[in-house]
Amino acid sequence: MAIGSALLIVFSLVLTFAMKQGSPYFGIVTYLVFPAFLALGGLIFLLGMHRESLRRRRLGAGAPPPYPSVDLNDPAQRKRFAYALLAGFFFVVLLAFVSYHAFIFTESVTFCGRVCHTVMEPEHSAYLASPHARVSCVACHVGHGASWYVKAKISGARQVLAVITKSYPRPIPTPIQNLRPARETCEECHWPAKFFGTQLMQIPHFRYNEANTPEQISLGVKTGGGSASLGGTAGIHWHMIIQNKV
C-alpha cells in the first residue's frame, strides 16, 4: 500500500506540474488522500513487524530472532541495507514535500472557494469581485499562527461533515461569532494608526442633458488617520484615533 501510494503521489505531482490549469479535486487527491494511504501503509508495515517480533518471541529458542540482524561485512546485506536507507530517505522527503504542499493547498483560495464550490459559490463569486480579491481567504478568516490554524482545521472538519450530510444552513450565515480579534487580522492592513495622505479619485460621470455629455469628476479624499504621537491626525479617519474623543 505504501509503495503504491508513493508511486501514485509521484505520478500525481508530475501531472499537477504538467497541467496548466489544475483542478482543486486533483489537489485533494494528491496532497491529502494519497499521503493518507501512504502513512497508513507505513503504519501497517510497522505494526506487522511488531506482531511478527512478538510471535517469534513466543515461539522460544527454536524460532528465528525477533529482530533482523544486519551484518554490514556481508556485501549482499550491505547492499540491501543501502537500498533500505535510500527508500526510507525517499519516503521521508516525499512526505515532507507533500505535507508542505498540503498545508499550502489548504490555505489557498482554490481550496476555500472551489472545493466546496456548490456551497461557497456565492461567497467565492462575491470575493472575486471585491476589493479584497488580492488577499487570500485565510489572511482574514484565520490569520497567522499555528493555534488559529489548528482551530480553523478543527472547525473545517465539522463543516466538511455538514457538507457531506447536506446539513449546512442555507444561505451560509455571516461568521460573526468566535472571530479572531480584528487587531490580529484586519489591522494587519487597516490599522488605525496608519496615516493616508490625500488620495485622488477619478469618477466618470455623464451630465443630465440630451447628449449625456461625459465628464470626469476629480475628488481629493483626505483620508488622514495616524496618531497624536506620530502626527498627522487630520482627515476623515480622525474619529478612529483612540486618543480623540468623539
pLDDT digits (tens, 9 = 90+) for 84-97: 888 878 878 877 77
Amino acid letter for position 183: R
Give percent above pLDDT 70 in the chain: 70
Q: Residues 58-79: pLDDT tens digits? A: 776 556 666 667 777 888 888 8
pLDDT at 211 > cutoff 80? yes
* Alpha-carbon gap, residue 215 to 193, rounded angstroms: 36
- Chain position carrying cell 506482531: 51
The answer to which of 72-86, 101-115, 208-222 has the lowest mean pLDDT is 101-115
**Nearest one of 99, 104, 115, 106 to 36, comparing CA atoms:** 99
How much is the pLDDT for 16? Answer: 60
Share the mean pLDDT of the chain. 75
The DSSP annotation for 53-121 comes to HHHHHHH-TTSPPSS----TTSHHHHHHHHHHHHHHHHHHHHHHHHHHHHHHHHTSHHHHHTTTHHHHH
How much is the pLDDT for 6? Answer: 65
- Burial code of 28-55, b = ≥16 C-beta within 10 A, e = fewer? bebbeebbebbbebbeeeeeeeeeeeee
Please indicate, yes or no, whether the overall pTM of this predicted structure exceeds 0.85. Answer: no
Q: Residues 121-144: pLDDT tens digits? A: 788 888 888 888 888 888 888 877
* Alpha-carbon gap, residue 48 to 42, rounded angstroms: 10
Cα angle value 33/2/81 (rounded, 5°): 150
Q: Dihedrals φ, ψ of 190, to 5°?
A: -110, 55
Mean pLDDT, rounded, for 134-160:
79
Examine residue 68 and say whether the peptide bond preceding it is cis (omega within 30 degrees of 0): no
* H-helix segments, the chain: 2-18, 24-28, 34-59, 75-106, 109-113, 117-128, 137-141, 146-164
Q: Are 127 and 137 in contact (CB under 8 A)?
A: yes
pLDDT at 201 > cutoff 60? yes
What 8-state DSSP symbol labels residue 181? P
The answer to which of 8-17, 94-103, 179-188 has the lowest mean pLDDT is 8-17
Q: Are 220 and 210 in contact (CB under 8 A)?
A: no
How much is the pLDDT for 222? Answer: 78
How much is the pLDDT for 72? Answer: 77
What are the domain boundaries of the chain?
Answer: 2-155, 191-240
* Alpha-carbon gap, residue 15 to 22, rounded angstroms: 9
pLDDT grade, residue 15 (50/70/90)?
A: low
How much is the pLDDT for 35? Answer: 75
Q: Are 103 and 145 in contact (CB under 8 A)?
A: no
